[in-house]
Amino acid sequence: MLAAMPPSPSLRPHGAEPPVRDRGDACPGALRLHSAADGGLSRVRLPAGYLTSRQAAALADAAERLGDGHLSLTSRGNAELRGLAEDCAGELADLLSEAGLLPSARHERIRNILASPLACLDHHTPSDVQLWARQLDALLCASDSATALSGRFLFVLDDGRGDVAALGGDVTLVADGAGDDAAGGASGSGALLRIGDNPAALRIAGPDAPRAALTAAESFLAAADASGTGAWRVRELPAGYALNMRDVSDALREAGIAAEYVGTEAVDTEAVDTEYSSTECAPAPGIVEGRDGRRALSVLAPLGRLTVAQWRLLTAVADEDGCGELRLTPWRGVVVPGLSAATAEPRLRELTAAGLITDPASPWHRIGACTGRPGCAKSRSDVRADAAAAVTAGTPLPAGALPDSAADLPVPQLPLYWSGCERRCGHPHGTWIDVLATPEGYRVSVVRPDAPPAPQETRPH
């Protein structure tokens, strides 16, 4: 039974020797295309996953005219275009610029900002981390020093519900009601500032949160430069140069930002504990009711891929019945806010008919996959086709991996991810079921942080 399977290791266990980087990261961007087996790949950063319907329409045009007719959603709430011709970079840049998706060519790969996708859309205590995201993005794009950040450096803005705080941010802001008196303003609350995996925090006023996040990132750059290791992320800093809260607090003070050290007692460690997957905090597919009586539609893309037709339908719903915006989620979903109670249900039925995941009971819920063959030359298998065949057969796992009773598996509680090679691109955080293509067949295991390797082999079908 899968529940009794031995676990496999986390991809880089805590305490492992930090790498020494002798080059910049190779992360693709909107302008720096990656050459994949199926053509060029462009990754368009969308801070907080936010898109206007006009911008969404521009991405659909780009995918249809220049790409393979699909859009991929990433685990950081960004969008990818695939199948691009080598000579389309200029046309793509013009199209994205006209839509306002490239505010700064120099900064486009560092605009990695995750935010709670349901912020101010449901009954959770409202904290407008979307506003923080817009302000932080503007600060990043105006900063010369920020261009030294790698394309992997991640800012995370959590509205206090704990949905994105566990997603491995380098700089994390968690909205904190205890700072309301000091915060005021449109930012809605105070904030707890965390650095990397350190559970300790600094409490700051809400209006200072975006500037504090940038200051913390600049402190990282100083430490990375001093270490001489070329670290891309906070956890890659060697022990002698690791950021501590005193360093960050001093930098904040120099920037004129008041900060109070609160240690770990103010942090909900269960909400940010990386031992467990954050999918339980992810927006469930379906209708989300807001405090103002409005509704939001939450849907998931099967295996993170949408056809242009599906994307245009989402855009039309946002434009015609919503508030003209969409929010991409780090769970490869889309939230469409601003619908009335009368229009939400029929629009959700349209999205269901179009093949989107709109029900938590869907067999596709919690199942993901990397690109696989033929799009990735490193992949050993067409993992998407294999995953689809497994779901069609009534199980999310390869043949031979299931016990007689599928009801005994913990699949509904854990995300399951199919990978074509050991890199496991786009894999979930925390604990998850790993379906890995190997030369001998699919290897299925449960990935937990800091667990020793002990895989189970199954033959492909």
Q: What share of the chain is helix, strand, coil (3-state, %, to 5)?
A: 35, 20, 45
Structural domain contains residue 86: no
CA–CA gap between residue 31 and residue 106 (Å, rounded): 10
Asked if 317 and 257 sit in the same domain, the reply is no
Asked if 191 and 123 sit in the same domain, the reply is yes
pLDDT for the residue numbered 26: 84
The alpha carbon torsion through 381, 383, 384, 388 (nearest 10 deg) reads 110
Structural domain contains residue 317: yes
Structural domain contains residue 46: no
pLDDT for the residue numbered 445: 87
CA–CA gap between residue 68 and residue 85 (Å, rounded): 10
Asked if 211 and 349 sit in the same domain, the reply is no
CB 418, CB 411: distance < 8 Å: no
- Residues 412-422 have pLDDT tens digits of 578 899 999 99
Helix (H) or strand (E) holding 7: strand 7-8
Asked if 272 and 298 sit in the same domain, the reply is no
Asked which of 322, 353, 384 is the last residue of a domain, the reply is 353
Residue 341's domain is classified under what CATH number? Answer: 3.30.70.3340
As given in the structure block, the two tokens for residue 120 are 């101010």
Instruction: Find where tokens 């000579």 sit.
Output: 87
CA–CA gap between residue 405 and residue 32 (Å, rounded): 48
Structural domain contains residue 249: yes
CB 161, CB 268: distance < 8 Å: no
- Residues 347-359 have pLDDT tens digits of 999 999 999 999 9
Asked if 236 and 290 sit in the same domain, the reply is no
pLDDT for the residue numbered 412: 54
Asked if 172 and 321 sit in the same domain, the reply is no
Exposure string (b/e) for 185-213, b if CB count within 10 Å is 16 or more? eebbbbbbbbbbebebbbbbbbbbbbbbb
Asked which of 247, 278, 309 is the last residue of a domain, the reply is 278
- Residues 294-313 have pLDDT tens digits of 999 999 999 999 999 999 99
Q: What is the pTM of this model?
A: 0.88
List the domain range (segments joined by +) for residue 334.
Answer: 279-353
CB 152, CB 270: distance < 8 Å: no
Close Cβ partners of 259 (under 8 Å, ≥ 6 residues apart): 193, 202, 203, 204, 212, 248, 249, 252, 253
CA–CA gap between residue 260 and residue 244 (Å, rounded): 14
pLDDT for the residue numbered 114: 98
Asked if 132 and 254 sit in the same domain, the reply is yes
Task: Spell out the alpha helix ranges (H) of 228-333.
Answer: 245-254, 269-272, 308-320
Asked if 414 and 445 sit in the same domain, the reply is yes
Asked if 157 and 230 sit in the same domain, the reply is yes
Question: Order of strands, edge to edge, in the sheet holding 34-36?
Answer: 34-36, 39-44, 79-84, 70-73, 305-307
Cross-strand bridge partners of residue 216: none
Considering all CA atoms of the chain, what is the largest pairwise distance in Å, rounded to the nearest integer?
63
Close Cβ partners of 292 (under 8 Å, ≥ 6 residues apart): none
Residue 445's domain is classified under what CATH number? Answer: 3.30.413
Structural domain contains residue 372: yes
As given in the structure block, the two tokens for residue 377 are 């030359």
pLDDT for the residue numbered 268: 52
Cα end-to-end distance, the chain, whole Å = 19
As given in the structure block, the two tokens for residue 423 are 């890199």
The alpha carbon torsion through 211, 212, 217, 221 (nearest 10 deg) reads 100
Asked if 248 and 322 sit in the same domain, the reply is no
CA–CA gap between residue 368 and residue 229 (Å, rounded): 34
Asked which of 353, 378, 400 is the last residue of a domain, the reply is 353
- 237 CA to centre of own chain: 23
Asked if 325 and 413 sit in the same domain, the reply is no
Radius of gyration for the chain, computed over Cα atoms and rounded to the nearest angstrom:
21
Count: domains in the chain = 3
- 113 CA to centre of own chain: 9
Structural domain contains residue 162: yes
| Residue (of 194, 243, 193, 253) closest to 219 by Cα position | 243
Close Cβ partners of 414 (under 8 Å, ≥ 6 residues apart): 277, 279, 366, 431, 432, 433, 446
What Å distances lie between residue 168 and 181, 325, 361, 366, CA to CA? 29, 26, 28, 19
| Spans in the chain with pLDDT lower than 70 | 1-16, 22, 178-188, 265-280, 400-412, 449-461
Query: Residue 80: helix, strand or coil by DSSP?
Result: strand
pLDDT for the residue numbered 170: 98
Asked if 163 and 261 sit in the same domain, the reply is yes
| Residue (of 13, 11, 450, 23) closest to 231 by Cα position | 23
pLDDT for the residue numbered 2: 32
Structural domain contains residue 255: yes
Structural domain contains residue 49: no
